[in-house]
Amino acid sequence: MRRPRIGLSACFFHADPKRPIFKGKTLLYLEQSLSHWVMAEGALCYLVPAPAAGAPVDHAALAEPLDGLILQGGSDVAPQSYGELPLAPEWSGDAVRDAYEIALVAAFRAQGKPVLGICRGLQLLNVAFGGTLYQDIGTQHPGSLVHRDWDAYDQNFHGLELGGRLAELAGRTRCTVNSVHHQAVRKLGPGLTAEAHSREDGLVEAFRALDGPPLFAVQWHPEFQKAGDPGLLDGRVFLRDFLKSAQEGTQRV
């Protein structure tokens, strides 16, 4: 049986004439923990490049040889991508990456392939489905937890309430996860259903598409957590579910 081939969306370092290497060039990159997390379950990972405008290879062609897509974390989603203006210059986000990832999601779903979103990936998918975001949780959601502590980083934790299929996969309705984000779902997009909320302030922490190919997303970083830690929700429960869907697709080829 062929191993599932999983595409990982790229993070962007846009052209910077002051950067000491690749001066003035755009770089696409992958955070290593994510690929290790996926490959530990037997899948193969491929970084999906952004095609040039008018190039003979488009998003559909990039999706065709792959069995599923994972959207990784990174820069903010641009407020313009959901019809708003930035409330502060530092929350301007990356509209170029947004457009690239939204097109990738559309291509994979058109081909009946599963999609998994991680952190920014959840926010991007919500926007792709017509939802909106809090540009900054602390500013726009008074009384919320500190969801991103720069010093603690991936050692910042909080509780979740689980529901739906995620609760079934996890075998429980309460758990703890890490928290490394300052933006979050404000209005959930049509066609999505929430499956986890932050226990203390009610923010959406996971959702699933109601129809179409499997699509699931989480706000935390399961790839940063130690596998098998009994104090945390083991992300392998939904990673394996995603890879099972991708593997089923390989059997139709």
Q: Return the structure tokens found at 171.
A: 């075998």
Which of these is catalytic: 119, 147, 158, 182? 119
Q: What is the number of residues in the chain?
A: 253
> How far is it, in rounded angstroms, from Cα 133 to Cα 80?
11
Other Cβ atoms within 10 Å of 24 Cβ, number: 9
C-beta of residue 164 within 8 angstroms of C-beta of residue 197: no
Q: DSSP code of 50?
A: P
- Dihedral sign from CA coordinates of 196, 202, 203, 204: positive
Which of these is catalytic: 101, 195, 205, 223? 223
248 is catalytic: no
221 is catalytic: yes
Which of these is catalytic: 59, 158, 197, 221? 221
Amino acid at 16: D
Q: Known catalytic residues?
A: 119, 221, 223
